[in-house]
Amino acid sequence: MDISKFKRISEVIWELDTSFKQGMHVPARIYANENLLRQMEDTVVEQLTNVACLPGIQKHALCMPDGHSGYGFPIGGVAAFDPDDGGIISPGGIGFDINCGMRLMQTNLSIEEVKSKLRPLVDELFKTVPAGVGAKGFVNVSKQDFKTVVMDGVKWCVDNGYGWKEDLKSIEENGKIAWADTSKVSDRALERGKAQLGTLGSGNHYLEIQMVLSENIYDEKITKVLGIEAGKIVLMVHCGSRGFGHQIGTDYLKIFDAVMPKYGITVKDRELACAPFNSKEGQDYFGAMACAANLAFANRQVITHRIREAFSKVFQRKPEDMGLKLVYDVAHNIAKKEKYVIDGEKKELIVHRKGATRSFDGQPVIVGGSMETGSYLCIGTKKAEEETFGSTMHGSGRLMSRTQAKHLVRGEKLQKDMEAKGIYVKSVSMSGLAEEAGSAYKDISEVVETMDRAGISKKVVALKPLGNVKG
């Protein structure tokens, strides 16, 4: 990317003012160091400045340092809209995999204990947690019961023996978004989602066994509070709402595309199809989106239940005895109603986060990296609430397309190379594995360091991969 067009606001903030493109209501801002900015595709600027033209947008259109081109919004995009000022809701600002998100679990197992049983453990997890395109889960529910799942989220899981009551308190929204409305969801979406509870899916989704090394702890006080110890193992899950969320996104993009003329809305890109948040169509989508978000929370919860079963089988101990507790679960593809001060006035806004994580003051922020390089746990800050609508990065961000990665990397060789480095990975597809090579991603440490320097999220601990299950 040519960075000469930007005004540099600070070491890690770059801005394009409203004169950059006709129709921009607010400036576009990218959080990145110079190297990360240069690595971004030109389409990121095109998409972000298109977002800045949407009705009712407030303050800035934002992109995080892991940003890359997406559908409508760039991935890493954040934007907030005022419903009282014609503010909209757009599926392109949330993503097709609604509530794709991250879950982190602690354990009291030592690295050496797990290393000694790594292969059987990963093999058991691979068998226990279905992965890949079209994977079906072990939980069989009727259409009516599935509607209850997507209304109640993790509460349904706990009530039906797929979790511990204490899990609820460690999940965004306690694992249940209250405004979910199944009457706004198509039969096609219900049919697609019904069999996918407890499945990882494909692409960059994974279940990973990670090591906590003392040299990678940046804040001992916070790790202690969160129950994470040096020399121990943690577990990370990255997945979302599967075909259910995808179908809801597809359904409403068609609806919004058809109704925009009725509301006098024009967009720079049809992928940004939207409706006023307060319109019937906007409210219908908000209710359907919440159903998909609840399914994603429930999906990660059933996977957690299966992880606990797999560990019990391999180590012949109860999950409670191994300390398999939830640290936190946070969404990174979602729209929420949140209050922020704009020009001295507190307003309730519709905050879109697409490939961006909520970063409220003191809240755990889980940042997923590539299976070769590892991930991070950070903590949210007050400054994020003041500057970025309480948002930060969600991962390392792609550096090359999936097609590019498959041209450059062979899955079988990558699997062997990783095993030689002490990382045992099982994947449904070798071509899918190649797409997720570490070289296909930005340097996660650079991404995390950028937002740490900006004061938007603070580094707590870097987590190194040991075993991985991929779709």
Instruction: Give residue-wise pLDDT tens across range 144-164.
Output: 999 999 999 999 999 999 999
What whole-number percentage of the chain has pLDDT above 70? 100
Closest CA to 19 of 7, 32, 34: 7
Please report the pLDDT score of residue 76 as a whole number. Answer: 98
Report residue 19's pLDDT band, with 50, 70 and 90 as the boundaries. Answer: very high
For residue 220, which phi and psi values (nearest 5 degrees)? -65, -35
Task: Tell me the C-alpha distance between 358 and 334, whole Å.
Answer: 10
Contact 260, 54 (CB under 8 A): no
**Strand duo 364-367 + 356-358: pairing:** unpaired
Token duo for residue 201: 């899916």
Please report the pLDDT score of residue 18 as a whole number. Answer: 98
Convert 43-63 to b/e letters by CB count within 10 Å (16 or more is b): ebbebbbbbbbbbbbbbbbbb
Mean pLDDT of 285-294: 98
For residue 335, list its beta bridge partners. Answer: 352
Please report the pLDDT score of residue 138 as a whole number. Answer: 83
Q: Is the pLDDT of residue 274 over 80?
A: yes
Report residue 354's pLDDT band, with 50, 70 and 90 as the boundaries. Answer: very high
Task: Tell me the C-alpha distance between 208 and 114, whole Å.
Answer: 13
Please report the pLDDT score of residue 254 as a whole number. Answer: 98
| 6: CB partners within 8 A, 6+ apart | 14, 15, 16, 30, 37
Please report the pLDDT score of residue 315 as a whole number. Answer: 98
Domains in the chain (CATH in brackets) are 3-91+100-470 (3.90.1860.10)
Per DSSP, the residues of 320-336 read GGGT--EEEEEESEEEE
Please report the pLDDT score of residue 130 as a whole number. Answer: 87
Which residue type occupies 36?
L
The 10s digit of each residue's pLDDT in 301-315 is: 999 999 999 999 999
Please report the pLDDT score of residue 261 as a whole number. Answer: 98
Task: Tell me the C-alpha distance between 161 and 143, whole Å.
Answer: 19
Mean pLDDT of 370-377: 93
Please report the pLDDT score of residue 231 as a whole number. Answer: 98
Q: Is the pLDDT of residue 143 over 90?
A: yes
Mean pLDDT of 193-221: 95
Closest CA to 102 of 430, 330, 286, 283: 330
For residue 459, list its beta bridge partners. Answer: 378
Mean pLDDT of 128-135: 85
Task: Tell me the C-alpha distance between 74 and 276, whole Å.
Answer: 21
> What is the tally of helices (H) and strands (E) in the chain?
15, 19
- Dihedral of CA atoms 287, 266, 70, 42 in degrees, nearest 10, equals -160
Q: Is the pLDDT of residue 235 over 80?
A: yes
Active site residue 352: no
H/E segment holding residue 89: strand 88-89
Q: Is the pLDDT of residue 136 over 90?
A: no
The 10s digit of each residue's pLDDT in 69-119 is: 999 999 999 999 999 999 999 999 999 999 999 999 999 999 999 999 999
The whole model's pTM is what? 0.97
Report residue 132's pLDDT band, with 50, 70 and 90 as the boundaries. Answer: confident
Convert 251-260 to b/e letters by CB count within 10 Å (16 or more is b): bbbeebbebb
Mean pLDDT of 346-371: 97
Q: Is the pLDDT of residue 260 over 90?
A: yes
What is the residue-averaged pLDDT of the chain? 96
Please report the pLDDT score of residue 278 as a whole number. Answer: 98
Helices in 204-352 by DSSP H: which ranges? 220-225, 242-259, 280-315
What whole-number percentage of the chain has pLDDT above 90? 93
Task: Tell me the C-alpha distance between 381 and 396, whole Å.
Answer: 20
The 10s digit of each residue's pLDDT in 165-206 is: 999 999 999 999 999 999 999 999 999 999 999 999 888 899
Please report the pLDDT score of residue 385 as a whole number. Answer: 98
Report residue 15's pLDDT band, with 50, 70 and 90 as the boundaries. Answer: very high
Please report the pLDDT score of residue 178 as a whole number. Answer: 96
Task: Tell me the C-alpha distance between 397 and 377, whole Å.
Answer: 16
Task: Tell me the C-alpha distance between 46 and 50, whole Å.
Answer: 6
The 10s digit of each residue's pLDDT in 420-441 is: 999 999 998 899 999 999 999 9
Catalytic residue among 205, 246, 305, 394: 394
With H, G, I as helix, E, B as strand and everything else as coil, classify residue 198. Answer: coil
109-117 — which CB contacts under 8 Å span 24+ positions? 109/232, 109/233, 109/315, 109/322, 109/323, 110/231, 110/232, 110/233, 111/211, 111/212, 111/231, 111/232, 111/233, 111/466, 113/233, 113/315, 114/209, 114/233, 114/466, 114/467, 115/422, 115/466, 117/314, 117/315
Q: Is the pLDDT of residue 134 over 90?
A: no
